[in-house]
């Protein structure tokens, strides 16, 4: 039955999704409260994050969303309408949304397809229509919809997600729908049919390169989550994105959930550089978790790198595919609009590696080309690329037709 259900969803998802509005033509970019603040999220923090996103140049770089994650709910009133925690959101959600909108940004919120969220807060199961209309009245632009405390089977997951998807479509407001069931039920096969604009393909990311835990089924490091993106590139594209979870860039072990209560101490700068580059090659949603008020200049420059963001946001919407991989090196190739390609040469190993690749024979790009090297912003006139990569490092090239 499960196999038949998935086949049906693959056959009909593109037709059903055509009814959806063009709300995520490129992968959403923004900030999420979860890993750094968790239960401390508040009206004041959200306003400060919005201010920081504008003032530090992230808005100009393309970041749009300020997303409230779990722990914002206070309960339901006597009309069953959700209301926020009154201490941390004394004025309600709508004034926060109005403030975020006044900055030229958009606001997101969180709920769950069960009676309770992952944090044990009141969720939306059985109240989908009411909650969607409430979110619309508040001015919400984006919903992250989790799957804690819900049945495990894929059929129930689809029904519950589609019910909220339909409710959002009928809410009277355009709301991007982020499906967060962690990839275990292969949402890339059915999430479009449920109305989703993006869907998690993994469990929660941790602020480490490799988590390597016995509990790895509920978490993963950057490399582990990246590897889970193999063989699903064909399901991602405009208005329907594979989501390998949020960016750990710049946390350095400071996040709560991302550090898993201190078990993980963060990544090296090289690993953060590669993390961001890989997510851009994957055409992944770019959701930052670090404290935007105090982000260090190096990682701010990384997160606003216009060349990598252009690769991520390319309107063709192609996810990179692997064209070579062994235990040391991996090459990713991403088709871009205008006949261009982005190529990432990635050192998976624990040791320094040298490389020398011909763009015709190794990258399978046959036209006369110029090669733009992203990190140092230099154009190479040769037909080959070579260099040295430190452990877990990468180099990114944009290959363009000669004019």
Q: Where are the domains of the chain?
A: 2-312, 321-401
| pLDDT at site 335 | 98
Compute CA distances 231 → 34, 186, 322, 331, whole Å: 29, 12, 9, 15
What is the dihedral sign for C-alpha 241, 243, 244, 250? positive
| pLDDT at site 215 | 53
Q: Are 64 and 28 in contact (CB under 8 A)?
A: yes
Catalytic entry in 70, 112, 141, 146:
146
pLDDT in 10s for each residue of the chain, 403 residues:
455 454 444 444 444 444 457 999 999 999 999 999 999 999 999 999 999 999 999 999 999 999 999 999 999 999 999 999 999 999 999 999 999 999 999 999 999 999 999 999 999 999 999 999 999 999 999 999 999 999 999 999 999 999 999 999 999 999 999 999 999 999 999 999 999 999 999 999 999 999 876 554 567 899 999 999 999 999 999 999 999 999 999 999 988 788 777 788 899 999 999 999 999 999 999 999 999 999 999 999 999 999 999 999 999 999 999 999 999 999 999 999 999 999 999 999 999 999 999 999 999 999 999 999 999 999 998 899 999 999 999 999 999 998 7
What tokens appear for 55 in the block?
A: 């003032």
204 is catalytic: yes
Catalytic entry in 69, 204, 207, 362:
204
| Class in CATH terms, 321-401 | mainly beta
What tokens appear for 59 in the block?
A: 């808005």
**Correct CATH for 2-312 of 3.40.640.10, 3.40.50.150, 3.20.20.70, 3.40.50.10800:** 3.20.20.70
Region of 182 (left: φ > 0; alpha: ψ -120 to 50; beta: rest) is left
Secondary structure (H, E, C), the chain: CHHHHHHHHHHHHHHHHCCCCCCCCCCCEEEECHHHHHHHCCHHHHHHHHHHHHHCCHHHHCCCEEECCCCCEEEECCCCCEEECCCCCCCCCHHHHHHHHHCCCEEEEEEECCCECCCCCECCCCCHHHHHHHHHHHCCCEEEEECCCCCCCHHHHHHHHHHHHHHHHCCCCCCEEEECCCCCCCHHHCCCCCCCCEEECCCEECCCCCCCCCCHHHEECHHHHHHCCCCCHHHCECCEEEECCCECCCCCCCCCCCCCCCCCCCCCHHHHHHHHHHHHHCCCCEEECCCCCCCCHHHHHHHCCHHHHHHHCCCCCCCCEEEEECCCEEEEEEECHHHCEEEEEEECCCCCEEEEEECCCCCCCCCCEEEEECCCCEEECCCEEEEEECCCCEEEEEEEECC
Q: Are 207 and 266 in contact (CB under 8 A)?
A: yes
69 is catalytic: no
| pLDDT at site 14 | 44
| pLDDT at site 3 | 53
| pLDDT at site 18 | 42
């Amino acid at each position: 039955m499960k196999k038949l259900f998935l086949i049906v969803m693959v056959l009909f998802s593109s037709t059903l999704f055509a009814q959806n509005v063009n709300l995520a033509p490129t992968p959403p970019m923004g900030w999420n409260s979860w890993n750094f603040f968790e239960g401390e999220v508040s009206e004041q923090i959200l306003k400060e994050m919005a201010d920081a996103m504008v003032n530090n140049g992230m808005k100009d770089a393309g970041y749009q969303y300020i997303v409230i994650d779990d722990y914002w709910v206070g309960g339901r009133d006597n009309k069953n309408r959700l209301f926020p925690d009154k201490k941390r959101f004394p004025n309600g959600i709508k004034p926060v949304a109005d403030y975020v909108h006044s900055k030229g940004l958009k606001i997101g919120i969180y709920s769950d397809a069960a009676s309770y969220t992952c944090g044990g807060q009141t969720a939306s199961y059985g109240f989908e229509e009411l909650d969607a209309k409430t979110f619309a009245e508040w001015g919400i632009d984006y919903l992250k919809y989790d799957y804690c405390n819900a049945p495990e089977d894929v059929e129930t997951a689809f029904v519950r997600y589609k019910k909220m998807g339909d409710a959002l479509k009928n809410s009277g407001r355009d709301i991007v729908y982020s499906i967060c069931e962690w990839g275990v039920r292969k949402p890339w096969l059915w999430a479009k049919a449920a109305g989703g604009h993006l869907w998690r393909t993994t469990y929660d990311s941790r602020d480490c390169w490799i988590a390597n835990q016995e509990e790895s089924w509920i978490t993963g490091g950057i490399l582990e989550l990246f590897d889970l993106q193999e063989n699903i590139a064909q399901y991602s594209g405009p208005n329907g994105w594979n989501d390998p979870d949020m960016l750990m860039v710049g946390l350095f072990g400071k996040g709560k959930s991302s550090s898993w209560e201190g078990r993980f101490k963060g990544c090296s700068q090289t690993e953060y550089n590669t993390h961001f580059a890989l997510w851009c090659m994957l055409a992944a949603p770019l959701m930052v978790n670090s404290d935007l008020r105090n982000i260090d200049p190096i990682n701010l420059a990384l997160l606003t790198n216009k060349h990598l963001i252009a690769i991520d946001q390319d309107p063709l919407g192609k996810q990179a595919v692997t064209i070579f991989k062994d235990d040391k090196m991996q090459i990713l190739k991403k088709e871009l609009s205008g006949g261009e390609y982005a190529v990432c040469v990635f050192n998976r190993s624990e040791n320094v590696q040298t490389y020398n690749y011909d763009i015709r024979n190794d990258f399978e790009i046959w036209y006369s080309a110029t090669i733009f090297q992203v990190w140092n912003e230099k154009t190479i006139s040769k037909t080959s690329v070579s260099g040295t990569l430190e452990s877990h490092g990468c180099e990114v090239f944009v290959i363009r037709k000669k004019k």
